[in-house]
Amino acid sequence: MSLLIAAVGGAVAIGGYKLFENKQNEQMTFEEKQKVYFANNPGAEITSSTGNPDFTQAAAAVSPGVVHIKVTMTARGSQRGGGSSPFDMFEEFFGMPQRRQAQPRQATASGSGVLISPDGYIVTNNHVVEDADKIEVKLTDQRTYEAKVIGRDADFDLALIKVSGTNLPFVKFGDSDNVRIGEWVLAVGYPLSLQSTVTAGIVSAKGRQIGILGEQGQGSPYGYGQPQEPIVRTAVESFIQTDAVINKGNSGGALVNTRGELIGINAAIASPTGVYAGYGFAIPVNLVKKIVDDFKEFGTVQRGYVGVSFREVDESIRKEYKIDDIQGLYVFDVVKGGAAEEAGIKTGDIITKVEGKTIYSSSDLQERVARLNPGDKLKMTYKRDGKEREVAVTLKAQESKKSAASEEVSASATEIFNKLGASFTPANAAQKKKFGVNSGVVITQVHRGGMFEYFGVEKGLVVTHVNGKPVNSVDDVESALGSTKRNIVRITGVSENGTVEFNFPIQY
């Protein structure tokens, strides 16, 4: 009897421990989970190659954990056709025309992704999945899963997706801070619609900025030739540069060292042709770790901000402000009430170090800050009047976002104008007399990809009112768009067929 009681007690204790262990496991970061896994499942250590390069062990260890991502998305063409659309509801409810030029059609694209946990979490690039209606993930053993997006962020060009699987192969995290220029690396992915492909090269540079993330979303297909509002750049670029061959389709794939450890997520190439021309760029894994943990816990990135505007010190800065410093960041402006101001940093200071490390470029500061959360402290050194001072800056969150309704009401008039995708010219006296109107602008061109094309607003229409306000010039149109409410733009116009009215959503 006593033996039975002891056995039952032992089982209860083990069961209780397992529940506790599972709960603890859920609270761990991806990196902590990996450390526990490899501590409990030690495998043969992969040794870095010396002498004649041999990447076979690293390639064999990593390839199963790098997946092929195929996305299906809705694209808009200019052909007329039947079939239902997710926007038919808007057309019926808001009185939109049943006949339109552009119809949704299915398009496909592909990229790569890296499994980072045995339960199916995959990191990839934002640009691989941002327009996806459906995401299909295929492993090297031909298993196929449908994935859902957990979180994504264009400023980092990173996304976390998940498939429903267990005991999946995954790639071990490395430490991108320890990556050295000149060391051998492997790029693993699915380029040019090929199957799993491994290429080798060296690290050519670190902390590289190429301006590609800041450009995303700026080259809009809407509003050709229209002036743009000043853009606040919040993108973070601090790429690892490599000459390992990277092509289209490698996006979201792995950059690993010769020990088979993930050191970066491949994101871009520098090429005049769109295919490999010598250099590829990967997002450092130490930044990736923070972002994917945020996606898993919050669904979005928790960013802390220093609250300064700056420029890298160069010859022009030295001459203009009569300073002798060779490197650092010259502070042009300090956000009122921001973290930097509260720490005592002022306009004209030169930020020289972050966490004791010399700043050579803006990426040195930006990447370090991007790894931290609001409320975290950052040790910064700055120079004022020739003397260095060290302060602890407590990062602040970005101003809380307005409610969805407020965002819709206060959307930039220029942004909405660009989304219309049209060119206008003032209607002349003869045109106004012909249609019996006192105001109007003529649509002279409808651009591909804009709202007018999608909803069938045709060239030649005389637009008389926008959001109930008379319009006689391009400036009038833009001004009237500023009064857009409830996410709906109201357009009134006249043509040979009589008066027409369109009501359509800004987001469609």
What single-letter DSSP state applies at residue 243?
A: -
Catalytic residue check, 68: no
Give the separation between CA 331 and CA 393, rounded to whole angstroms.
15
Q: Which of 127, 293, 364, 465 is catalytic?
A: 127
Is residue 402 within 8 Å of 410, Cβ to Cβ?
yes
Torsional class of 70: left (φ above 0), alpha (ψ -120 to 50), beta (otherwise): beta
Q: How far is CA 360 from CA 308, 345, 386, in A?
A: 17, 19, 18
Give the separation between CA 157 and CA 279, rounded to whole angstroms.
18
CA angle 396, 400, 404 (to 5 degrees): 160
Give the separation between CA 263 and CA 137, rounded to whole angstroms.
22
Catalytic residue check, 479: no
Give the separation between CA 200 and CA 256, rounded to whole angstroms.
10
In terms of Cα–Cα distance, which of 7, 487, 45, 445 is closest to 222?
Answer: 445
Q: Is 26 helix (H, G, I), strand (E, B) or coil?
A: helix
Residues 6+ apart with CB under 8 A from 29: 289, 293
- Encode 206-242 in three state secondary structure: EEECCCHHHHCCCCCCCCCCCCCCCCCCCCCCCEEEE
In terms of Cα–Cα distance, which of 245, 254, 258 is closest to 183?
Answer: 258
Catalytic residue check, 127: yes
In terms of Cα–Cα distance, which of 309, 285, 256 is closest to 371?
Answer: 285
Token pair in block for residue 143: 């298993």
In terms of Cα–Cα distance, which of 150, 487, 503, 158 is closest to 298?
Answer: 150
Q: How far is CA 379 from CA 382, 394, 445, in A?
A: 10, 9, 54
CA angle 434, 436, 437 (to 5 degrees): 115
What single-letter DSSP state applies at residue 476?
A: H
Residue carrying structure tokens 């005991």: 167
In terms of Cα–Cα distance, which of 84, 129, 132 is closest to 111?
Answer: 129
Q: Which of 153, 155, 157, 293 is catalytic?
A: 157
Partners of 499 in the beta sheet?
Answer: 494
Token pair in block for residue 393: 């800056």
Residues 6+ apart with CB under 8 A from 362: 209, 310, 312, 329
Give the separation between CA 367 and CA 285, rounded to whole angstroms.
11
Q: How far does CA 272 lie from the centroid of its chain? A: 23
Q: How far does CA 341 lie from the centroid of its chain? A: 29
Residue type, 357: K
Q: Which of 251, 362, 363, 423 is catalytic?
A: 251
Residues annotated as catalytic are 127, 157, 251
